Amino acid sequence: MKYYTIAPPEILKPFVRFFWVLEHELSAREPEYVYRSIADSCTEMVFHYRAGFDEITEQGEQNSDPSGIQFQTDTYRRFITRESFGIFGAYIYPFAVPRLFNIPSSQTTNLALDYDTFLGCAGRELEERIILAQDNQERAGILSDFLLMRLRHNVKTDDRIITSIRQVIHSKQHQTVAQLADTFNLSVRQFDRRFKEYAGFSPKIYLRLVRLQNAIQQYNNHKTLTQIALECGYYDQSHFIHDVKVFTGYHPSFYFSGRAEGTEYRNANG
């Protein structure tokens, strides 16, 4: 399995965290691959340029190639393919959604839409160009140009809230909602409402999602689950277990074992 990231151009860095690539060759010993996407505090644009995936639901396999946009979500999904595959994606800050797509993030939470449904002709053309590109550097260039054209510079934004979301995502400090609101001179009620508009979730839920991502970054760091939980700001082991189970579908002991679906890419070399 091969996984690596590509940095966006400087002008897009306030909106796009990175582009990413996941490729894998199946074999007779591995006739199928199941991928699990977990809860995430950011939005992803995903393009399947080699082979497609079917989603696995409670009703069984569904014939639906998941190329499209998955907005910030507090749930997990499962997909399966029986072919060698290549996927190109963009990892986008939630507060970039209004600037790029002219819709509040609060209206997109947990939505997963194909490009035709979400963007119409422009989406279909973008998907075709990405799929037919010669390599992933070209794909990064095509998507960068597309996102730059969609940036709306006249959209009014609340820079305090955007700064607070960045702080939650990138800071390792474990602050409460009240502390964050106080930092930006807002009441808890005001902060909660404005934060949800830009992040898609209330700050309380968003803090939980980011805490999970921070815990996942401790994967393979030779730390115990208790150490991971404490370092990532969980009050106790039970809260840690609960959030991992809700957001990934697995008990932490299995999710961090290296055997869970959707974790193989962390061991892949770029």
**pLDDT tens string 103-153:** 999 999 999 999 999 999 999 999 999 999 999 999 999 999 999 999 877
Q: How far is CA 105 from CA 70, 101, 128, 152, 230, in A?
A: 12, 10, 26, 15, 31
Specify the fold of 159-265.
Arc Repressor Mutant, subunit A (1.10.10)
Q: CA-CA distance, 45 to 68, in Å (whole number)?
A: 6
Are 131 and 47 in contact by the 8 Å Cβ rule? The answer is: yes
Give the three-class secondary structure for 18.
Answer: strand
Residue that the structure tokens 């072919």 belong to:
83
CA angle 53/56/58 to nearest 5° reads 165
Alpha carbon 241 to its chain centroid, in Å, reads 21
Predicted structure pTM score: 0.90
Write down the pLDDT at residue 161: 94
CATH number listed for the domain at residues 2-150: 2.60.120.10
Write down the pLDDT at residue 145: 97
The listed range with the strongest mean pLDDT (63-77, 164-178, 196-210, 217-231) is: 196-210
- Residue 46 pLDDT exceeds 90: yes
Count the helix, strand and coil residues of the chain and give each as a percent rounded to the nearest 5: 45, 20, 35
- Residue 173 pLDDT exceeds 90: no
Q: CA-CA distance, 79 to 34, in Å (whole number)?
A: 6
**Residues 87-99 pLDDT 10s:** 999 999 999 999 9
Q: CA-CA distance, 270 to 5, in Å (whole number)?
A: 8
Q: Where in the chain is the domain with CATH 2.60.120.10?
A: 2-150
- Span 238-262, mean pLDDT? 91
Write down the pLDDT at residue 177: 94
Q: Where in the chain is the domain with CATH 1.10.10.60?
A: 159-265
Are 119 and 97 in contact by the 8 Å Cβ rule? The answer is: no
**Residues 193-235 pLDDT 10s:** 999 999 999 999 999 999 999 998 887 667 888 888 988 888 8
